[in-house]
Structure 1
Amino acid sequence: MTTLNISIPESMQEFVNQQIASGNYNNASEYILHLIYRDQQQTTELETMLLEGINSGQPIEVTESWWEQKRSALVEKLSD
């Protein structure tokens, strides 16, 4: 494993210390590693969703009318 030194504002350092004090992390490195891992997972999930969208069928033209139909359907669904 390599070492990475960063500078952060004192308020962020206090937040990191709070995360450690909560008992969820043993040290700052563990907390930062968790954040990076979570970001990597979210990036992978987003890429997967984008590829699914690209491969989902024929493209359609998204117009204001299309959005209005989607909004109306959502409002109707939420009011049920």
Structure 2
Amino acid sequence: MRSTKQMSITLPLEMAKAIKDKVASGEYATESEVIRDGLRALLARDKAVNSWLKEQVGPAYDAMKADPARGINTKDLKAKIMQEVGDS
């Protein structure tokens, strides 16, 4: 059984040119390789974002929800940032 599927896509002209330029430069052998590499990068980014949300953002949200006093209001945050910017 075939492990690939042929597809037809429509791209803006500048994206199509960028793909052709990658192949013309020798960086990739085919246009399909450019698309596959781009999709791998997109999937890796999605995985990293999901991991960050699960491992860092979710627990931080849960901690703030459990103890809202841990938070800082926007006025105090702005003052703290301005102080740090002024100190540097």
- Which of these residues, 24, 27, 50, is aligned with residue 24 of structure 1? 27
Mapping of 1:1-80 within 5 angstroms? 1-52=4-55, 53-56=57-60, 58-59=63-64, 60=68, 61=71, 63-69=73-79, 71-72=81-82, 75=85, 79=88
Structure label with greater radius of gyration: 2
TM-score normalised according to structure 1 size? 0.74
Question: What is the total number of aligned residue pairs between the two structures?
Answer: 78
How many angstroms apart in 2 are the aligned matches of 1:42 and 1:74? 31
**5+ residue gaps in structure 2?**
none
How many angstroms apart in 1 are the aligned matches of 2:46 and 2:36? 15
Write out per-residue CA displacement over residues 19-41 of structure 1, whole angstroms, 9 at most, x where no aligned residue: 11222211110000011000000
How many angstroms apart in 2 are the aligned matches of 1:68 and 1:7? 46
After alignment, is 18-27 or 53-62 more displaced? 53-62
Q: Percent identity?
A: 19
Go from structure 1 to structure 2 and tell me whether the alpha carbon gap of 1:70 and 1:20 turns closer, same or farther (over 3 Å shift).
farther
Q: CA RMSD in A?
A: 2.4
After alignment, is 62-71 or 36-45 more displaced? 62-71
TM-score normalised according to structure 2 size? 0.69
